[in-house]
Amino acid sequence: MRGAVAAGEQPTDEVRAALAASPSMDGLDLATHATVARQYSEGSPVARRHIVAYDYGMKRNIVRLFLQHGCRVTVVPAETSAAQVRDLKPDGLFLSNGPGDPAAVTYAIQTLRQLADGTLPIFGICLGHQLLGLALGGETVKLPYGHRGGNHPVRDLETGQVLITSQNHGFAVRGDTGGVPGAKALQVTHLNLNDGTVEGVKHREYPIFAVQYHPEASPGPHDAQEHFRQFLQALDTQ
């Protein structure tokens, strides 16, 4: 919902006009504005694992967690091409969180469609999860009520475990336990126990997976940080 905060007891005509002119979130690409201006790297140049991370509005703690696991991380702008990513010779590809309507980030969807061919392990969160779903043939929907804050219960469909997660999103990948319509290659792995929306997917053949919530959340909950280790294990088996 759009809104405005202004001084005074009643909104002025100027405030009403500014509110009316503010863009709707539907169809709004904000990743272009939230991304980094240029590529940068952190971590030891002789680290055993090299992660290329797409920054669509990425949280700093994501880089910090990869560094703690002994990785070198190269962060790239949202519009970096598939060829540029491959030239960096990564061991794995990370797709970050970010704001806006995922369906509007068309350049990223096209790029990920090229990269999700099984040659690279891929791990996405939040917006990265939605973009991966779109790249592989699914669709996203705007939620009537977005998921905000901590304490969102999410069930791991394989183990039955319930994770208490941190979330901040207004869109979701359309699907259910039967799968993601239009994306036959994707299997639904996690569901939100409050409204039944998709919270995680994985590729049926390739080492590609993504979650809608924030496993890097700090401070807590930390229930889902195991996903980072899962991704790094996929790198070691390639």
CA gyration radius for the chain? 18
Select which of 50, 129, 152, 214 is catalytic: 214
Q: What's the DSSP call for residue 220?
A: S
Select which of 190, 199, 203, 216 is catalytic: 216
- 71 is an active site residue: no
DSSP state string for 140-158: EEEEEEEEEEEEEEEEETT
Token pair of 131, please? 């973009």
The amino acid occupying position 46 is: V
Select which of 126, 152, 203, 227 is catalytic: 126
- 126 is an active site residue: yes
DSSP state string for 39-106: -EEES-TT-SEEEEEEESS--HHHHHHHHHTTEEEEEEETT--HHHHHHT--SEEEE----B-GGG-H
Half-sphere exposure of 215 (CA within 13 A, CB side): 25
**Closest-CA residue to 238 (of 44, 51, 81):** 51
- 190 is an active site residue: no
Q: Active-site residue numbers?
A: 126, 214, 216
